């Protein structure tokens, strides 16, 4: 089984940057993703990266966020630039452990708060 631990969240001003990290252990990771959940909102996908390094982004973060992974370290990152107030949320790391499966493994989340 896979365990995921996020870190790197914090409080930043609009226009600032944060880099989130997710350390994974315990299994094969076919794909990794970052989700977020803002207060009163449903959890939404932010970015996804496959084992081959192909990345996809939500329209709301495209051009501002970059997802990457270091397979040797079993770590996925989310570089967040030009942060907006609307980016405020708890950010979760998620893993797909079966090639045809879903993002069913989740970390505990890390809070990102952007002040305007």
pLDDT, tens only, 69-102: 998 888 999 999 999 999 999 999 999 988 888 9
**Mean residue pLDDT across the chain:** 94
| pLDDT higher than 90, residue 28 | no
Closest CA to 110 of 23, 26, 28: 23
Kindly provide the residue ranges of all beta strands, DSSP E only, lying in 1-116, ordered along the sequence.
Answer: 3-7, 10-13, 18-25, 31-37, 44-50, 55-57, 65-70, 75-80, 89-96, 105-106, 110-115
CA distances (Å), 115 to each of 18, 72, 89, in order?
13, 35, 12
Predicted local confidence at residue 72, as pLDDT: 85
C-alpha span between 93 and 5 (Å, rounded): 8
The pLDDT value given to residue 73: 86
pLDDT of 20 over the 90 cut: yes
Q: What is the pLDDT of residues 33-64, one digit of tens each?
A: 999 999 999 999 999 999 889 999 999 999 99
């Amino acid at each position: 089984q896979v365990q995921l631990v996020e870190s790197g969240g914090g409080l930043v001003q609009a226009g600032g940057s944060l880099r989130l990290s997710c350390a994974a252990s315990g299994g094969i990771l076919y794909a990794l993703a970052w989700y977020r959940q803002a207060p009163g909102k449903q959890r939404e996908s932010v970015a996804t990266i496959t084992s081959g390094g192909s990345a996809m982004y939500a329209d709301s973060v495209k051009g501002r966020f970059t997802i990457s992974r270091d397979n040797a370290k079993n770590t996925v990152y989310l570089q967040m630039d030009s942060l907006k107030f609307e980016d405020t949320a708890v950010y979760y790391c998620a893993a797909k452990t079966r090639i045809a499966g879903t993002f069913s493994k989740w970390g505990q989340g890390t809070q990102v708060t952007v002040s305007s």
